[in-house]
Amino acid sequence: MLEVGDLITGRFKKSSITILYGSDTGTAQDYAYFLSKRLRYLSLNPTIAALDDYPLKKLVTDTSFLIVICATVGQGEVPRNGKKFMKFILKKKLPSDLLNHVSLTTFGLGDSSYPKYNHAIRKIHTRLGQLGCTELCSSCEADEQSSEGLDGYYTVWEQTLIDSLKKFFPTLTPLNDEAILSPSNRLSIETGDVENESDSVLAKTRADIDNEYADTERRLKVGKIKSLERITPSDHFQDVRHLTVEASDLDYQPGDTMALFPTNSAEEVQKLLDSQKKWLSVADKPLKIHGVVPYIEGGLISPEKLTLRRLLTHHLDIMAIPTRSFFFSIWRFVNTDNEDGKREVEKLKEFCDFENSEELYDYANRPRRSIAEFLVEFENNLEIPVQYVFDLFPKIKPRLYSIASKPSENTIELVIGVVEYQTIIKRIRRGLCSRWLKSLNVGDDIIFTLHKQKLKFGDKPLILVGPGTGIAPMKSLIEHRIGSQDMYFFFGFRNETKDYFFKSQWDEFSKKDNFTLFPCISRSDKFKKQYVQNGIFDQKELIQKLILEEEAVIYLCGSNGPMPRQVRETILEILKISGMTEEEAAQYLLSMENTGRYIQETW
Amino acid sequence: MVVQEVKVLYLLHPTVVTDEKLVVETKAKLLGDVTQMLISQIVSKPPSDKFDKIFYVNPNEGEGRYIPNEVLEIFFNCLNEGGEVEGDLPTDQDIDVLMNGFVVENNKWLKPKKFNVISLKKSNKETVSKLGGFKRLNDEKTVKSPGLTDSSIASESEDENNKRKLDKMKLTYFSDSDGESDSEIDENELLESNYTLIKPKKCDTTGKKRRKACKDCTCGLKELEEQELNNQQTLQSKLLSSLSQQATSANREAIAIEERLANKVKLDFKDMSEIDFTIKGKTGGCNSCSLGDAFRCDGCPYLGLPAFKPGEVISLDNFGEDI
């Protein structure tokens, strides 16, 4: 328990504040970083990490104040980078005063158009309370649908939090607004040279290749690309790739995912280096990172081989959309000894101002502008010391894909939709991973990790629903179980000549008794327009029988959006037709979800 | 009369201990009650004494002088008010030094004498409740797991030793052993929040704040956004087209683009790399068009095109075709 007397004696270290975030799309992460910087300008020294990247022992040894910022994903769950944290705090054996030395506040990010919005943060908050945490200040559950938006919630919560913290640190001397914070990891350019290495060789020096983690999930594997073919015709608007990788000692089940580690292209990195004049001359010198480097998924490439160019290529996401916390730091590096520079600083300050949040949205998010483009646009007066690159740029995150092949020790397949689109910016937007993927060749080495989902499909009939690239896990499951389990596959696609993926394989499987394919074609002159939900409804008698009499399991995969909700409503409707009331049907479906008979994986 | 000696912490960087002569000679110059320690010692166990001066010897240069924030905090905490740090200090860490409460003066770091310490009396109950109210977050009834200690004892334990023992006990729950078999509580039982939440004041501004359309937008915002995007692309095309019409023979490439635009073929941006945007009369009336998107007006035809300098041929493919 904290004592008022402690306040005067300065018992609390400025470093005893820990900010943890659980983030899916990066919004929660950016609020966390923004807060961290705000606190540093108050001359506090918070530690910031994703929930799962923080060594939890430090909650006992290093934390007096805990701030959790967390989004909610799926059916009221914690984002992927908070799963292990959640699993830990849920342990029954934990004592009720485990964290009684910790003062807690939480900020949840939610969207009230989803029924289980903000459930993740609520679970975390309640459980940490059960483990003894006291309240630092009132918490906050933000609703993106409200007229105030997430920012409106954040600003009131941040003010309350800062007021509370000031009481524990009465002698704080806030920094001048213009002051530039020390980088959290100091970088230094060393003398000498580094050996020439190709990017794929460098990728294989990442730390997690040899890392002996307790869990094997983080250990990097190396494979070889066996094939990477486009499976949509070149005149189709969507470029979908079928990737096959060969490796050894693979261990995965249907439903598991594979993470790829994309890198930036040499041209993009070069353009960026050109825009920062002082970087170019040191770009290929050995670069040393000092201090404890925050955990990066997959680990850093070998420290002996590190250069600025390689850091930018392998680890820093220069293609990311610049965020508020980015602008919060960057304006201080603009040279203001001329009119242009002064005007630019004014503009950049606007981008981090909560009162003007539409400015930032219109400039950065809406057209999906990249950090690299921003830097080029402001290159005349913007001079970033190399020291700060690691602080300013977000880290490249691995990309997760559902595995499309049956369990195998030496082969693994993915089906990947290449993301390309246009905004008001004339140049085509293309995801970092999509561009990287297109640069790969058959025979290249590729690094990856496997992630277990631990899905259980049982031996009852399976109703499989997977439109578009949602086909991937279905293909894995069907290949694995064909012949030993009844399976009914609703595959949604646009056109029989464009994106009827793996048609010959389905034709082959359909010759067997216990596999039935229901193609649902949405844009064809030849067939009636049909989405998967329509296809399911057409089979209502069958679906009814399967669910109610044969205890079938429903497995649904694919892109987020209206599809998952409409499939769910269709199933509800079918249950009602069987004679259930609205309430009974809802209850039945809920119990299907809770007992693992309705499995949904959407992205 | 009792004369108090100045208490000095004579602090050594590990690399200096090999140079015994330097250590002894420097120490001899220090007056008062001198305590000698290695910097690593004060990190592992911060001294409980308070000093009037810290004198730091570190023969390294540059990066080797760096002092982590946590150590600066220890420096600050083990100095008396008005105390100072001198010696071989880093010169590029003034911000960190300031953040830890020091004043930087003539290569010395001073701990200021007076703070505006809010006086908090232990007996003042009102103050206690104002401090965020240290109420338990949970309803006692819901906690079934036993505690490590009687909580009343834990709350009174000022004793460092007790705290260390307690920490050690707590840490056993964090052991890395494979916890697969540990039973877990059902997270769905944690949904009844009985803690207070902050709500923002109702938004009373114009409400012009733009929200992005949901992925499954049904309210029409998505169509509106698509319409805006189309308008912008039409504007861009018109601009490019009029530029190409004005173009001299040197600008054949732009004409080629115009032709392809007319045929609604996807643009090959490689071909657009050399268009002169600086043709007379083509800068906007607000003079901000050339500055780049950050400064362009809503609906500016240049939106989405790169910044350019008046009088310069600009390049559309600053980042190549692919972004």
Three-class HEC string of A68-91: EEEECECCCECCHHHHHHHHHHCE
Name the residue facing A92 among B138, B145, B292 (closest C-beta).
B145
Instruction: Tell me: pLDDT of A597 over 90.
Output: yes
Determine the residue of chain B that is closest to A58 in CA distance. B171
Greater model confidence, A32 or A179:
A32
The pLDDT of residue B153: 47
Chain A residues near residue B125 by CB distance under 8 angstroms: none
Of A589-603, B3-17, B252-266, which range is least confident? Answer: B252-266
**DSSP output for A174-227:** PPPTTPPPPPSS-EEEPSS------HHHHHTT-GGGT---SSGGG--EEEEEEE
Hey, what amino acid is at B172?
T
3-state secondary structure of A134: strand
Contact (Cβ atoms closer than 8 angstroms) between residue A487 and residue A478: yes
Residue B185 and residue A429: Cβ atoms within 8 Å? no
Chain B contact for A319, CB < 8 A? yes
- The Cα of A411 is separated from the nearest Cα of chain B by a number of Å equal to 28
Stretch A472-486: mean pLDDT? 95
Stretch A202-221: mean pLDDT? 77
Name the residue facing B95 among A97, A181, A188 (closest C-beta).
A181
Contact (Cβ atoms closer than 8 angstroms) between residue A428 and residue A438: no
Backbone φ and ψ of B80, nearest 5°: -75, 160
Q: Which of A415, A412, A406 is nearest to A479 (CA)?
A: A406
The predicted complex's ipTM stands at: 0.76
Where does the pLDDT of residue B123 fall: very low under 50, low under 70, confident under 90, or very high at 90 and above?
very low
Percent of chain B with pLDDT over 70: 59
Report, in angstroms and rounded to the nearest whole number, the Rg of chain B calculated over CA atoms. 34
Determine the residue of chain B that is closest to A433 in CA distance. B323
Residues A261-295 pLDDT 10s: 999 999 999 999 999 989 999 999 999 998 888 88
Chain A, window 271-300: residues with a beta carbon less than 8 angstroms from a chain B beta carbon: 271, 290-291
Residue A125 and residue B174: Cβ atoms within 8 Å? no
Contact (Cβ atoms closer than 8 angstroms) between residue A546 and residue A488: yes
Q: Which residue has the tokens 């008001």?
A: A424
Cα angle for residues A228, A231, A237 (degrees, 5° grid): 120
Is residue B23 exposed (0-12), middle (13-18) or buried (19+ Cβ within 10 Å)? middle
Stretch A61-82: mean pLDDT? 93
Of A79-83, A439-443, B66-70, B114-118, which range is least confident? Answer: B114-118
3-state secondary structure of A384: coil
Where does the pLDDT of residue B181 fall: very low under 50, low under 70, confident under 90, or very high at 90 and above?
low
Chain B contact for A239, CB < 8 A? no
Report the DSSP beta bridge partners of residue A414: A243, A403
Chain-wide mean pLDDT for chain A? 91
Residue B115 and residue A171: Cβ atoms within 8 Å? yes
Instruction: Tell me: pLDDT of B274 over 80.
Output: no
Instruction: Tell me: pLDDT of A555 over 90.
Output: yes
Q: Which two tokens stand for residue A82?
A: 């908070």
Determine the residue of chain B that is closest to A172 in CA distance. B101
Contact (Cβ atoms closer than 8 angstroms) between residue B317 and residue A427: yes
Residue B151 and residue A3: Cβ atoms within 8 Å? no
The pLDDT of residue B273: 40
- The Cα of B28 is separated from the nearest Cα of chain A by a number of Å equal to 33
Size of chain B in residues: 323
Q: Which two tokens stand for residue A91?
A: 């342990």
Chain A residues near residue B310 by CB distance under 8 angstroms: none
Q: Which of A98, A128, A99, A100 is nearest to A22 (CA)?
A: A128
Chain A residues near residue B269 by CB distance under 8 angstroms: 426-428
The pLDDT of residue A215: 62
Residues B156-167 pLDDT 10s: 445 677 888 888
Residue B320 and residue A268: Cβ atoms within 8 Å? yes
Contact (Cβ atoms closer than 8 angstroms) between residue A65 and residue A168: yes
Greater model confidence, B286 or B288:
B288
CA–CA gap between residue B227 and residue A86 (Å, rounded): 43
The pLDDT of residue B212: 62
The pLDDT of residue A1: 43
- The Cα of B41 is separated from the nearest Cα of chain A by a number of Å equal to 18
Residue B212 and residue A179: Cβ atoms within 8 Å? no
Chain B residues near residue A362 by CB distance under 8 angstroms: 210
Chain A residues near residue B208 by CB distance under 8 angstroms: 358
Residue B95 and residue A422: Cβ atoms within 8 Å? no
Chain centroid offset of residue A374 CA? 23
Determine the residue of chain B that is closest to A40 in CA distance. B99
Hey, what amino acid is at A132?
G
| Backbone φ/ψ region at A54: left (φ over 0), alpha (ψ -120 to 50), beta | beta
Q: What residues contact residue A320 under an 8 Å CB cut-off, 6+ apart?
A: A26, A370, A371, A393, A394, A432
Determine the residue of chain B that is closest to A341 in CA distance. B291
Instruction: Tell me: pLDDT of B30 over 70.
Output: yes
Residues B72-104 pLDDT 10s: 989 998 999 999 999 999 988 888 898 888 988
Report the DSSP beta bridge partners of residue A221: A448
Chain-wide mean pLDDT for chain B? 71
Of A107-121, A302-316, A477-491, B149-163, which range is least confident? Answer: B149-163
Q: What residues contact residue A167 under an 8 Å CB cut-off, 6+ apart?
A: A7, B118, B130, B131, B132
**Which helix (H) or strand (E) is B42 found in, with range?**
helix B39-44
- The Cα of B136 is separated from the nearest Cα of chain A by a number of Å equal to 5
Chain A, window 344-373: residues with a beta carbon less than 8 angstroms from a chain B beta carbon: 344, 347, 357-358, 361-363, 365-367, 369-370, 372-373
With both helix axes pointing from N to C terminus, report the angle between A582-594 and A562-577 in degrees, rounded to the nearest 10: 120
Chain B contact for A40, CB < 8 A? yes
CA–CA gap between residue B262 and residue A473 (Å, rounded): 43
Residues A173-189 pLDDT 10s: 788 888 898 888 889 99
Greater model confidence, B2 or A393:
A393
Where does the pLDDT of residue B151 fall: very low under 50, low under 70, confident under 90, or very high at 90 and above?
very low
Percent of chain A with pLDDT over 90: 73
Where does the pLDDT of residue A422 fall: very low under 50, low under 70, confident under 90, or very high at 90 and above?
confident
The pLDDT of residue B321: 40
The pLDDT of residue B91: 87
CA–CA gap between residue A67 and residue A35 (Å, rounded): 10
The pLDDT of residue B279: 42
Stretch A516-532: mean pLDDT? 91
Instruction: Tell me: pLDDT of B17 over 90.
Output: no
Residue A171 and residue B191: Cβ atoms within 8 Å? no
- Probe site for chain A from B80, B205, B233, B319 (most A CB atoms < 10 A): B319
Please report the sign of the dihedral spanned by the C-alpha atoms of residue A382, residue A385, residue A386, residue A388: negative
CA–CA gap between residue B251 and residue B243 (Å, rounded): 9
Please report the sign of the dihedral spanned by the C-alpha atoms of residue A163, residue A164, residue A170, residue A174: negative
| Backbone φ/ψ region at B109: left (φ over 0), alpha (ψ -120 to 50), beta | beta
HSE, CB side, 13 Å, CA atoms: give it for residue A61: 11
Contact (Cβ atoms closer than 8 angstroms) between residue B195 and residue B137: yes
Chain B residues near residue A136 by CB distance under 8 angstroms: 132
Instruction: Tell me: pLDDT of B193 over 50.
Output: yes
Instruction: Tell me: pLDDT of A140 over 90.
Output: yes
Query: What counts of helices (H) and strands (E) characterise chain A?
Result: 23, 21
Q: Which two tokens stand for residue B196?
A: 């207070």
The pLDDT of residue B210: 53
Where does the pLDDT of residue A565 fall: very low under 50, low under 70, confident under 90, or very high at 90 and above?
confident
Strands A134-135 and A103-110, sheet pairing: parallel
Stretch A565-578: mean pLDDT? 93
The pLDDT of residue B236: 76
Where does the pLDDT of residue A212 fall: very low under 50, low under 70, confident under 90, or very high at 90 and above?
low
Of A96-105, A374-383, B19-28, which range is least confident? Answer: B19-28
Report the DSSP beta bridge partners of residue A287: A189
Q: Which of A177, A159, A150, A81 is nearest to A120 (CA)?
A: A81
Q: Which residue has the tokens 């994986």?
A: A601
Q: Which of B205, B222, B203 is nearest to B214 (CA)?
A: B222
Q: Which of B190, B132, B318, B34 is nearest to A126 (CA)?
A: B190
Q: What residues contact residue A33 under an 8 Å CB cut-off, 6+ apart?
A: A48, A323, A325
Contact (Cβ atoms closer than 8 angstroms) between residue B290 and residue B310: yes
Residue A87 and residue B184: Cβ atoms within 8 Å? yes
Residues A317-339 pLDDT 10s: 999 999 999 999 999 999 999 99
Contact (Cβ atoms closer than 8 angstroms) between residue A18 and residue A65: yes
Please report the sign of the dihedral spanned by the C-alpha atoms of residue A460, residue A464, residue A470, residue A475: positive
Q: Where are the beta strands (DSSP E) in chain B?
A: 7-12, 33-38, 51-57, 79-87, 103-105, 108-110, 274-275, 314-315
Of A199-213, A508-522, B105-119, which range is least confident? Answer: B105-119
CA–CA gap between residue A219 and residue A367 (Å, rounded): 36
Instruction: Tell me: pLDDT of A121 over 80.
Output: yes
Instruction: Tell me: pLDDT of A487 over 80.
Output: yes
Residue A127 and residue B149: Cβ atoms within 8 Å? no
- The Cα of B96 is separated from the nearest Cα of chain A by a number of Å equal to 7
Name the residue facing A363 among B63, B148, B293 (closest C-beta).
B293
DSSP state of B307: P
Residue A147 and residue B214: Cβ atoms within 8 Å? no
The pLDDT of residue B152: 47
Q: Which two tokens stand for residue A72?
A: 């909610």
- Probe site for chain B from A66, A148, A373 (most B CB atoms < 10 A): A148
The pLDDT of residue A561: 75
Q: Which of A485, A550, A470 is nearest to A516 (CA)?
A: A485
Size of chain A in residues: 603
Determine the residue of chain B that is closest to A269 in CA distance. B319
Strands A187-189 and A287-289, sheet pairing: antiparallel
